[in-house]
Amino acid sequence: MSSFVRAVRRLGRGVLIALAVAPLGTPALAADAAKPAPKGSLVIAGGAVRGDNAAIWQRVVQLAGGPGARIAVLPSASANPARAGAYLVAGLKQYGAEGFVVPLAVRMKDRDYKRDAEDEGLARSIREAGGVYFSGGDQALITQALVRPDGTRTAVLQAIWDVYERGGVIAGTSAGAAIMSSTMFYDAKTVFGTLSEGVNGRELTAGLGFIGDGIFVDQHLLARGRFARMLPAMLKKGYKLGIGIDENSAVIITGRRQVEVVGYQGALLVDLAQAKVDKQVKDFNLSNARLSYLDRDDRYDLATGLYTPSADKVEGKVDPDKPYLKEPVYSTEVLGHNTILILMSKLVDNSETQAIGIAIAGPLDPRQDLGFEFKLTRDAATTGYSSATMDAYTVLNMRLDVRPLQVTRPWYK
């Protein structure tokens, strides 16, 4: 029995329960553990964060030092950096922070971003702040502005790291979330295109790595079906654990590797520690991946493997012998908006043990003859928690297998 399964079978022994998606023994996390851990925190938002999402904004301000905290805003990813920066500073002010724009962006008019990236005055202003916030947009513009051509840190990027390492907060949304891992999507195809053609060219590039080398991060996850593109990317780069955050939601990760989900919805954890690929099959395939969905206000600890349910789920552990549903679970559009979460939630509290989702190419996608079957399995290691106040579930350790399908498309002729 693997450590992954043993940990999950300890579920339900109290309010603190073992979550197997991030066991201590995973090589990637063990490698991170050998490095001095920054004392600060990360707030990684999945994009489309609304101005009235107090759960996220208040935590950014709190982690930066509380009311009056100075927060450096980097609108480097935005198509209109000046406008985006001013908007974010005004938004932070509503929640009690003193934000200020760092005028460093490839697309900022009348500025030389290469010179600004080495400006000691800008670096000092960041270093004296309690936090840094990265806007959404194009993540490649962030790394272009902050990383030297030889891959080393500019003066401004080093100042951002100084804030994080001494105890400040690094926050970002969308593109600002993508740069949190050491590898990020760069010139990505559609989700189906990534599945059908792989990640063999410009799809991936280096991120800034604030979260460490062992975790892959993706954003806009459930809203855009991007869980599926994480699979080939993680396999390509050897990641065992991935975190995908949904829109208007965020994960907070402290220096002690404790994770909290806040905002509108939640985050999907993708564990490939025991996953296998059949190399005899030409097209993308995968067996025994493990998915976990952490809902808002759930917590877990990457260092100890302990999961804590939100207050409304403490008494809501699903009893597999008394399922709420007794119906097949199936979708012909598994890459659709929230579809993977719907399938997981329906299956975890069901007399059925398997759910099927199908993905086929869109009109402009390559490989019109190709499709994929995503098979979810609720097995002995799977656990669910239902909310007492709404139709919402936390799902832990559900198996995922993916296989290619031959598709006939007569309606395109």
CATH code, domain with 67: 3.40.50.880
Dist CA 229 CA 211 (whole Å): 20
Residue 347 falls within a domain, yes or no?
yes
324 and 287 within one domain: no
Which amino acid is located at 79 in the chain? A
Residue 7 falls within a domain, yes or no?
yes
193 and 77 within one domain: yes
Q: Among 255, 280, 312, where does a domain finish?
A: 312
286-294/267-271 β-pairing: antiparallel
Q: Among 267, 282, 312, where does a domain finish?
A: 312
Total domains in the fold of the chain: 2
Dist CA 285 CA 274 (whole Å): 14
Residue 173 falls within a domain, yes or no?
yes
Residue 388 falls within a domain, yes or no?
no
Q: Is 287 left (phi over 0), alpha (psi -120 to 50) or beta?
A: beta
Q: What is the model's pLDDT at position 22?
A: 33
Phi, psi of 258 (to 5 degrees): -90, 135
Residue 386 falls within a domain, yes or no?
no
Residue 195 falls within a domain, yes or no?
yes
Q: What is the model's pLDDT at position 305?
A: 75
108 and 254 within one domain: yes
255 and 343 within one domain: no
211 and 339 within one domain: no
90 and 211 within one domain: yes
Residue 385 falls within a domain, yes or no?
no
271 and 328 within one domain: no
341 and 210 within one domain: no
358 and 282 within one domain: no
Residue 110: partners with Cβ closer than 8 Å, 6 or more residues away: none
- Which residues constitute the domain of residue 376? 318-380+393-412
Q: What is the model's pLDDT at position 35?
A: 63
Residue 66: partners with Cβ closer than 8 Å, 6 or more residues away: 96
Which stretches in the chain have pLDDT values below 50?
1-33, 411
327 and 303 within one domain: no
